[in-house]
Structure 1
């Protein structure tokens, strides 16, 4: 199907009308470019003029055709008395062919017209052997090479402006994507913090309130109410701490202390209280070196301590919800051998550098008494915490034991990377 040619631009219509009118005016006044040439009648100079003037209507939509026909018209004009308007129109067609033509043609025309100008100049000097012969080359350059070079310069500027605008738009788009990702990441971080802080207390409240409702015993109800009150107060304190963290940057408050591994014993003591009625016991085995093995070795980075604390906290919460009666063991180790993966021993997965390993084992099976429902968000949060620090996480059943394994980099450089 042939390509449909769009209607001419309004400026091109005006240019065509003005060009033909100016040529007719010059012809009527007897102003010719070659008045001594009478190979054809004087009116014959109007034919190339009208043809080239009409081509102005197609200078944007069909630049290749207009340049080819315009070149033929300029050659035909040389056999008449000539019209200055025809020559001027041809220069505009050459300019338009470079500006609106295809990139290949726009690259070739300045080079080809420059070579033609040089060739015409050399041929004229060699043929006529007079200094005035140089004028022929100059005129050729003005008619062909100059407009082609001007068009190429303008086109390069336009393409550079378009490229700059595209780069600015891409930069703005990337900035917006970065902002959106930062918002999503911050929301995910807040969701993990909120879940890890509150889920433990609310799970204990749900379990003991159900026990108090299902067992008609004043002593049991009083004990359950005590646990409920303690977890309510602690949950409220955790919520206030989170609100303080969120307001810290804007209100200039003092930094609120973040949980660390030093608080694990208190965390397990709370778990013992909450799980006392379920036949569960909680044991902490901290096998980390009492002092750094290397002089001047820095302590664990704060993000690593927080992540390890939250992983243990969520593991204990899941044990209170789902574990069978028995012993829940929390084990912490710190080594430099790189390990072989989360499933190996207390495992890790990076294979290089010093690692903090967290292992939580809880009995797997049916449990008596009330249970709190789970959503799976805790496992997702623990995995995200480990992966954000460049570590690894693994959780699953191994026989009659539910195992949680996390490996976190224990040096500041890995956390920053």
Structure 2
């Protein structure tokens, strides 16, 4: 042992069974009193071994604080999969080797792919192979450092829609594979990474502790999220909502909103904006908006990213402390109103957005806007390509 205190804490336990010393192989009847797995012939061998043994010396029946398994599991090796809610989808492809799904893990920083030669099977292999685990190493009983997300949490749940699921079966799994009353972070997704409209579940559960929700590639027929059902919901990410989805999102504590691919009735988006007072970030891609108003009550809103809302005509910016506005691929923008005039200044980025002269004038004249107008073309609008400019001049 490394000190007298360590020695006192590891007083040897005597037994009448025959064992060999872990260091020299001599007969021994004493062992480490904490883990009770190492045997020694005497104190000198025990002290010599302590430098290495302390790395795996855990109390009997203790639990690993990282993987939540007994420290005796897997021969002392801790294996933690990549947390689904921290995996960023980097795209997918098909090729000679089959289906490839690419990801980036925000917990460990690893970039990797999952490859499946048969889409109808679920036997994905990792490339590179060492990326299979978010963490692989020794168990530990020490508290993990703040911000270390390479862990398993009892209040985090991932539910995958699998091939062969019926709507009824998947609907039942939404309550049998998690405890709605305790879940803090929830991911509901299509297990193979594709969108499938053959299963149409309803998400209408009382989840009082839910803070973060991801709904990825699942064809929900109805979604109900409000202060009565999900009072703590602060972050939501959705991808591929069906156009006919009956959507209610009215959560006053919502801070981060990210929605990709939804072309149906988007009145629920405005209802969401009118309800929340905590919104910080608003991100959309291919969302079927025709108009959107960010009211003055959104005092915490800092960032707005709107990408490829092709039919977006009218935008009202009343958020007084906005810092950044990005309008990308907004081809129909006719009206932009900025108020109050005394709010903070914010940066505007317009990429491939064919905006009206009225919008351009608003951006130029607003004392709140920091915007580089050098890209403006009187024929093509902002960010218009030379081909677009020529087309306008000819017509």
Q: Is the shorter-chain TM-score for this pair beyond 0.5, marking a shared fold?
A: no
Higher helix share: 1
* Bigger radius of gyration: 1
Q: How high is the TM-score relative to the length of structure 2?
A: 0.21
Between Structure 1 and Structure 2, the one with more strand by share is: 2
What TM-score comes out, normalization by structure 1 length? 0.20
